[in-house]
Chains A and B, each alone.
Chain A
Amino acid sequence: MYPSRFAYEAPKTLAEAIALLDANGGEAKVLSGGQSLIPMVKLRFASPELLVDINNIPGLDYMRIDEQGNLRIGALVRHEDLEHSTTLPATHPTLAAASHLVADPIVRTRGTFVGSLCHADPQGDWAATMIALGGRIVAQGPKGKREIDMREFVLGPFTNALAFNEIAVEAIVPPVKGKAAGSYLKLERRVGDFATASVAVALDMNGATVGRAGCALAGVGGRTIDANDAISVLVGKTLNAESIEAAAEAVAAAADPRTDHRGSADYKRHIVKTFVTRILNNIANSEQKAA
């Protein structure tokens, strides 16, 4: 409950923030919402020498769709901004579904979307949705910006692909081709619990046919599980009992859970399969209703 000492800077520009990281050679950490970092610092699981607080940098709290149809989410967009968005359920149902399930409502007022991606918690909700959506991270460092595919951004438990002197300034969700469908289901025993298992599915539907199919899992591996390849069995198919079963099987096989007090590896794998099936059945049913 009592962090160790650290130095603190609250720059007003990104350039200053990056310069601070650059000057501190890996001993500095970026502080945005702080809802994952501060608990770790409180418990002294993390003891950074310098915290660079980016909350005072203007212009990072946007969430907008650009001309190409990319959804762009700035580094200071809070979880609750997504949760309270009135347009997100239609444009990005996977993100909208997850937005209610991240931590708890109070944490959601502070914690940021991008910060959560950087935290790379194997049980993190947003990373799963972003991998399923084929999203990218914009990293900005002393030499400018680069984009990192989410599939390459999460390297392992609590490890991301940012260089020590880079800041994740933006997350990009590519445009939907066709109609967006998808959801996020999480087995948690109570609000704020870590996921026993959770599943993000994002599909681009061309009428009744699946265009792009994306899927990722949380809580069932040492890192967020990229199940995009597994769910690609759906591409070009319509959603029916057979294709859904095949996809659910394939995704469950991609999970790499371990047995612990939340359940056996087999149970968690079963939950993955069940949730994939449920999400896809729901999509199929709503397609039918629409048709």
Chain B
Amino acid sequence: MSLDEIKIGGMGASRRRVEDNRFIRGKGKYVDDVVLPGMLHMEILRSTVAHANIKSIDTSAAWEVPGVRLVLTGEMMAARNLAWMPTLSYDTQAVLATDKIRFQGQEIAAVIADDPYIAKDACAKIVVEYEQLPAITNPFMAQDPAMPIIRDDKENQPTNKIFDWEIGDKERTDQAFAEADVISTIDLHYPRSHPSPMENCGSIADYDRATGKLTVYMTSQAPHIVRAAVAMVAEIPEHQIRIISPDLGGGFGNKVPIYPGYVISILASILTERPVKWIEDKTGNLISTGFGRDVYLNGQMALRKDGKILGMRMHTISDHGAFYADAQPTKFKIGLMHSTFACYDVPAAHLTSEGYYTTKAPGGVAYRCSFRVTEAMFFQERMMHAAANDLGMDQAAFRRVNLVKDDMFPYRTAFGFLTDSGQYDKCMQVGMEAIGYDNFKAEQEEARKRGKLLGIGISTMTEPLGAGNSREYDIIGIKMFDSAELRVHMTGKAILRTGAKTQGQGHETTWAQIVAHELGIPADDIVVEEGDTDTAPFGMGTYASRSTPVAGAAVAMVARKIRAKARKIAAHLLEVSEEDIEWELGRFYVRGNQERGVTIQDCALAAYSNIPDGLEPGLENNAYYDPPNLTWPFAAYFCKVEVDAETGVWDVLQFVAVDDCGVRINPMIVEGQVMGGLTEAYAMANMQYITFDEEGNCIGANYMDYLLPTAWETPGFELHEVVTPCPHHPIGAKGIGECATVAGPAAFVNAVMNAIEHTGVRNVDMPLMPNRVYEALQTGKDVSGMPPVKVG
């Protein structure tokens, strides 16, 4: 009797989440919930100005506050060679400022005290004298020779430019443009955004002088990378470092980098010989930790009259803040920006990029995307929108002409990626039908007669998810593979550990489903653990939608190794040769005699109690998975909006999302990921951004200015699915966590533009705040969102 896979919580089951059992009871264990005996509390003093030489720092009054144990400054860090630390992009970043302030919110000093209230009291008593320098709030100002050099700490840094980079075929692209009937252009700014998980960053460092062991509880999406980095920075042997990433209150890329606060808490614990807890406040999180985006995107497209794309050019100018701290593979200076147009058949393409320092917080993290893919796809779909208009072609028809056809896979993109599967046109059809695309034009015209501005927007994309392969992808030189370790106990229950780190994605639930699928062990019999570097196998963590593509594949592979060994044990138990054994879910049987069989649980028991000669006891193994390629999910999003012409306020009338992420392990969780991602997309399109005024003050340093939508504004989403299994992934799955955030923004923006572009406007920069939309309607001109914001 074969098992019912859905009943045992295998693949395809919308299994209710295991982790919820503790979360709904308030029994999650986040970093701030950890209390260690004798623990001290740390608060950081941040700069109030954006750019200034430090004339003096006087901490004497802070030391006098009763309950203060330690006050750390950059000078004291420097004495231990810890004033600076390496970033994930081979730059350096100040831990505590020694020479000058390079962004508002930069870390100046830290107070360690008996409780955080006292630490805050003491921070308020530190006196810093500044000598102000001009704030540089965009990369164009950074190029002004009259502006100071921000990174005067570095040798060979005569300007504020960080890099020039290019990829693609310039000559072929130039040729395509020479042959074009129509050339379309677009200029965009993808504004600075912040991943802003609900939980801020924090750490508890616990250095034990007796054993020499450093244990750090930390809000990290990639604890093993942190362990390696700490070993390098703090010169503590790697085997003496244990990073524990407990429950994370969201990450979205914000918890990939290593932040000054972590490093300071470690030194503070070493110096005080007590555990030191640092929990950032929301302002600290928004003002200083890894932002996303902040790129100026300029492009042209060469088109034939019939709508065929002949080639595209793209130029990016990126604002990296004061330290180049992008979390991305080494060889790509602007992440995977060149994944742009991967779903379209574009014969020739060329991308040039330049990056600059500004007096803003560092970051450039992959905010819910695979290394700048969000910018790449936003550019792509805004470019497509503009090009269709320039051609006078219908938006959907133009896309369908150019989308890669099903029979063209594997398809090599103009920038060299290999996409391997998809049914792009089918996704388009599903979406168009759901939103009533064919009726829309009539609807729009009719509404306009009543003075209503309706618009429809489309965004389609395939994105590269699941880095590696390790040939091309690394973080600070560490290759991007991942791992799983499976231990099947003698009663047939199991524990699984991976090198990934869940932050709400539900790994504890879905990984068990993969094992259930491969072995027939009920998912409820498998416990999943992640995030403790002393127990988890080495892995690169969770970001860039890489968990299911890489760690999830490792889970399948280790389960298959276990099954292979169990097969030998089954042969022994059934007294036949291994070749005569057949497998069905959860059970081996003798070929030709299905009644005669043993369950996987029988094999587990035998692995510890009745081992055949020549076979090692036990039923435990591990697998390290280096994917042969990225996975390429596809999304087609359709959005219908109404714009209030009098105020510029717009409302979403309908949103249809069609996602093809290959085989869905847990459909409920996949849909949850899509809805969450769409909400972040809506947020970016509508309200969520960080900007700066002329003095370099951060606007968006708390939730009064950095607006996240509530349940009230957030529209409802209609979800549809198409399934094209990934050809190389062991269970046919593709990444999904980020598709909606990546493809979503352009759907909203294109819809609003469609409603207002009769005025002649081509672009309004995100977020499409009412005042910007109104201005575009009034003037018919593009509206730029480039900082600094004028005040007065």
Contact = CB atoms under 8 A, between A and B. Distances in A.
Given A191-B710, A270-B774, A2 B116 contact: yes
Contacts of A189: 686-687, 707, 713, 769-770
Contact of A190 (B43, B710, B774): B710
Interface in A1-43: 1-5
B687 A261 contact: no
Contacts of A194: 704
A262 B699 CA distance: 11
Nearest to B708: A190
Contact of B792 (A3, A5, A259): A259
A189 B770 CA distance: 8
B789 A261 contact: yes
Contacts of A2: 43, 116-117, 119-121
Nearest to B117: A2
Contact of A261 (B646, B699, B775): B699
B691 interface: yes
Nearest to A274: B646
A192 B706 CA distance: 12
Interface string A158-193: 000000000000000000000000000001011111
B770 A196 contact: yes
Contact of A260 (B43, B124, B708, B789): B789
B281 interface: yes
B647 interface: yes
A261 B691 contact: yes
B710 A263 contact: no
B649 interface: yes
Contacts of B708: 190
Contacts of A267: 771, 774-775
Contact of A187 (B119, B124, B647, B713): B647
Given A1-B281, A263-B769, A271 B791 contact: no
Interface in B98-126: 116-117, 119-121, 124
Contacts of B121: 2, 4-5
Contacts of A262: 769, 771
B691 A190 contact: no
A44 interface: yes
B7 interface: no
Interface centre among B281, B708, B710, B771 (most CB of A within 10 A): B771
A104 interface: yes
Given A189-B687, A258-B791, A263 B771 contact: yes
Interface string B603-647: 000000000000000000000000000000000000000000011
A206 interface: no
A104 B792 contact: no
A264 interface: yes
Given A2-B117, A4-B124, A263-B769, A190 B713 contact: yes
Nearest to B120: A2
A263 B783 CA distance: 12
Given A259-B790, A259-B791, A263-B771, A191 B647 contact: no
B641 to A, nearest CB: 15
A258 B120 contact: no
B86 interface: no
A258 B792 CA distance: 5
A102 to B, nearest CB: 14
Interface residues of A, number: 26
B603 to A, nearest CB: 55
Interface in B730-775: 769-771, 774-775
Interface size class of B (residues with CB under 8 A): 20 to 34
Interface string A249-291: 0000000001111111001001100100000000000000000
Contacts of A196: 770-771
A274 B647 contact: yes
Nearest to A265: B792
Interface in B684-737: 686-687, 691, 699, 704-705, 707-710, 712-713
Contacts of A271: 647
A194 B124 CA distance: 28
B649 A187 contact: yes
Interface in A82-107: 104
Nearest to B711: A191
A189 B773 CA distance: 13
Nearest to B709: A190
Nearest to A47: B124
Contacts of A44: 120, 124
Contact of A104 (B116, B691, B707, B710): B710
B770 A191 contact: no
B781 to A, nearest CB: 14
Contacts of B705: 261
A194 B707 CA distance: 10
A187 B713 CA distance: 13
A3 B124 CA distance: 11
A193 B687 CA distance: 11
A40 to B, nearest CB: 12
B146 to A, nearest CB: 26
Interface in B5-22: none
Nearest to A277: B646
A191 B116 contact: no
Nearest to B710: A191
A4 B649 CA distance: 41
A228 to B, nearest CB: 24
Contacts of A259: 790-792
B687 A192 contact: no
A3 to B, nearest CB: 8
A93 to B, nearest CB: 21
Nearest to A278: B646
Contacts of B43: 2
A258 B790 CA distance: 10
B271 to A, nearest CB: 23
A209 to B, nearest CB: 27
A64 B683 CA distance: 42
B707 A193 contact: yes
Nearest to B787: A261
A239 B699 CA distance: 42
A87 B539 CA distance: 62
A214 B699 CA distance: 35
A192 B712 CA distance: 11
Contacts of A4: 120-121, 124
B120 to A, nearest CB: 4
Interface string A116-133: 000000000000000000
A116 B790 CA distance: 30
Interface centre among A4, A44, A267, A274 (most CB of B within 10 A): A267
B713 A191 contact: yes
Contacts of A192: 710
Nearest to B691: A261
Interface of B: 43, 116-117, 119-121, 124, 281, 646-647, 649, 686-687, 691, 699, 704-705, 707-710, 712-713, 769-771, 774-775, 789-792
Q: Across chains A and B, which 10 residue pairs bring their CB atoms closest together, nearest first?
A: A263-B771, A2-B120, A2-B117, A267-B771, A189-B687, A261-B789, A1-B281, A191-B710, A274-B646, A191-B712
Given A189-B769, A262-B769, 17 more contacts: A2-B43, A2-B117, A44-B120, A44-B124, A187-B647, A189-B713, A190-B687, A190-B708, A190-B712, A191-B712, A192-B710, A196-B770, A259-B791, A261-B791, A264-B771, A267-B774, A267-B775
Interface of A: 1-5, 44, 104, 187, 189-194, 196, 258-264, 267, 270-271, 274
26 contacts: A1-B120, A1-B281, A4-B120, A4-B121, A5-B121, A44-B120, A104-B710, A187-B647, A189-B686, A189-B687, A190-B707, A190-B709, A190-B712, A191-B710, A192-B710, A193-B704, A194-B704, A258-B792, A261-B699, A261-B791, A262-B771, A263-B770, A267-B774, A267-B775, A274-B646, A274-B647
